[in-house]
Amino acid sequence: MYEDAFPRELREYYRRLFGREAEEIMASLRTPVEKYYIRVNTLKTSRDKLMRILRREGLKPKRSPYLKEGIYFEREGPNFPDDYEPGLKRVVANKFASESVYQGAMLYAPGVLKADRSIKPGEEVEIRDPRGLLVGIGIARMGGRGMITATRGVAVEVTIPKFKLPSLSELESFKEGLFYAQSLPSMVVTHVLEPSEEELIIDMAAAPGGKTSHIAQLMQNRGEIIAIDKSKNRLKKMEEELKRLGVKNMKLIRMDARKLPELGLQADKILLDVPCTALGIRPKLWESRTPKDIGATARYQRAFIWAAIKSLRRDGVLVYSTCTLSYEENEANVKYMLEKGLKPEEQSIFVGSHGIGMDDVQRFYPNRQLTQGFFIAKLRKV
């Protein structure tokens, strides 16, 4: 079933890289993460307090065994088998909306691509993605015609999604900025960086601010972090997030990070959470990228690496991370850094597996750590 979700060249690439494990990896990528993590915003609250608040809000939070600011919720589902045919009238949602419904969200009218015209409000319907995969079952809140033309509002109230993750953004505790939804490996990245107040820290690809706000948290809102991103929209979202979380020690700069050396800075530490092919993100109803994208993206990333090395003081530390599974964007780019004179550094927290032919880096596999696919390397400029 998951086979159709990956282009043939990518399936072959995975089989060459991961051998027999490739099948398990692809099957896991198809489903949402088993443990859905949030990060306690320790600038505003403690884990124990937030756990109590979340329980009052009707949720079942659990403590992360790895990180003291980590809380997770267990995924529910699958709620029906892959070959289930409910035989109801159909609503087809776009890919983005389908992925949301697949994890338990409502279906909003802007996400509807097609619907049976005879659907009446109150009728039970099935929701499918554009390729025909059943992502959930629900009760129509609009007629079939209305849900295609409406530009807002709930089109289908989803009663049986394929999987269910908690929906958190309407909670009071979210609005008060007591937590940030963030995957476990993303949180590990900031601990690997080990930021401290006296240091000049640059985050070269920062928006929407997940890792930067975590750095601020570990620095207790002291010291200065320079956060760069080239996307105006993502920086706007980041500003809102930083306000919600109460982060203050941040300077945001909109620029192409490949031109960082032009600022003439010599940072103590640089976080390069580089743009990547995002092959590790779960769930994927289907993947459209191919090995060609991997090669092009890995070359693009080298320009960021070069800029990072130029802007790092001698003995400074570079943490490089991606949310992708390819070799070229991960270990091969670390090899490039080693050729440029960086040295691998031990990572203070190691939750993942070792890299492919490389021990000092950590890889997170969707089928082993049950997280997003992820990669973290730490290097020193000597």
* Binding segment (CB under 6 A) for ligand SAM, from list 6-14, 35-43, 156-164, 222-230: 222-230
Nearer to ligand SAM (CB atom), residue 36 or residue 163 = 36
- Total number of residues that touch ligand SAM (CB under 6 A): 18
Indicate whether 363 belongs to the interface with ligand SAM (CB under 6 A). Answer: no
Residue from 97, 133, 207, 219 in contact with ligand SAM (CB under 6 A): 207
* Binding segment (CB under 6 A) for ligand SAM, from list 24-32, 39-47, 66-74, 201-209: 201-209
Nearer to ligand SAM (CB atom), residue 186 or residue 311 = 186
Least separation, in Å, of the C-beta of 207 and ligand SAM?
A: 4
Least separation, in Å, of the C-beta of 323 and ligand SAM?
A: 6
Beta bridge partner(s), residue 123: none
Indicate whether 230 belongs to the interface with ligand SAM (CB under 6 A). Answer: yes
309 close to 342: Cβ distance less than 8 angstroms: yes
Nearer to ligand SAM (CB atom), residue 93 or residue 274 = 274
Nearer to ligand SAM (CB atom), residue 2 or residue 300 = 300
Residue from 209, 280, 291, 316 in contact with ligand SAM (CB under 6 A): 209
Here's the x/- map for ligand SAM, 248-267, by CB under 6 A: it reads as --------xxx---------
Here's the x/- map for ligand SAM, 318-337, by CB under 6 A: it reads as --------------------
Exposure string for 46-66, b = 16+ CB within 10 A, e = fewer: ebeebbebbeeeebebeebee
Indicate whether 205 belongs to the interface with ligand SAM (CB under 6 A). Answer: yes
CA 209 to chain centre: 12
* Binding segment (CB under 6 A) for ligand SAM, from list 50-58, 65-73, 136-144, 199-207: 199-207
Instruction: State yes or no: is 276 an active-site residue.
Output: no
Indicate whether 106 belongs to the interface with ligand SAM (CB under 6 A). Answer: no
Nearer to ligand SAM (CB atom), residue 28 or residue 297 = 297
Cα 373–Cα 331–Cα 10 angle in degrees, nearest 5: 55
**318, 323, 325, 334: which one is catalytic?**
323
Q: Which of 382, 379, 305, 313 is nearest to 346 (CA)?
A: 379
257 close to 230: Cβ distance less than 8 angstroms: yes
Least separation, in Å, of the C-beta of 330 and ligand SAM?
A: 14
Near ligand SAM in 57-86, by CB under 6 A: none
Checking phi first, is residue 107 left (phi over 0); if not, alpha (psi -120 to 50) or beta? beta
Nearer to ligand SAM (CB atom), residue 126 or residue 199 = 199
The Cα–Cα gap between 202 and 62 comes to 32
Residue from 7, 77, 275, 295 in contact with ligand SAM (CB under 6 A): 275
* Binding segment (CB under 6 A) for ligand SAM, from list 68-76, 158-166, 229-237, 368-376: 229-237
* Binding segment (CB under 6 A) for ligand SAM, from list 69-77, 86-94, 108-116, 227-235: 227-235
The catalytic site residues sit at 323
Give the footprint of ligand SAM on this chain (CB under 6 A). Answer: 186, 205-211, 228-231, 234, 256-258, 273, 275
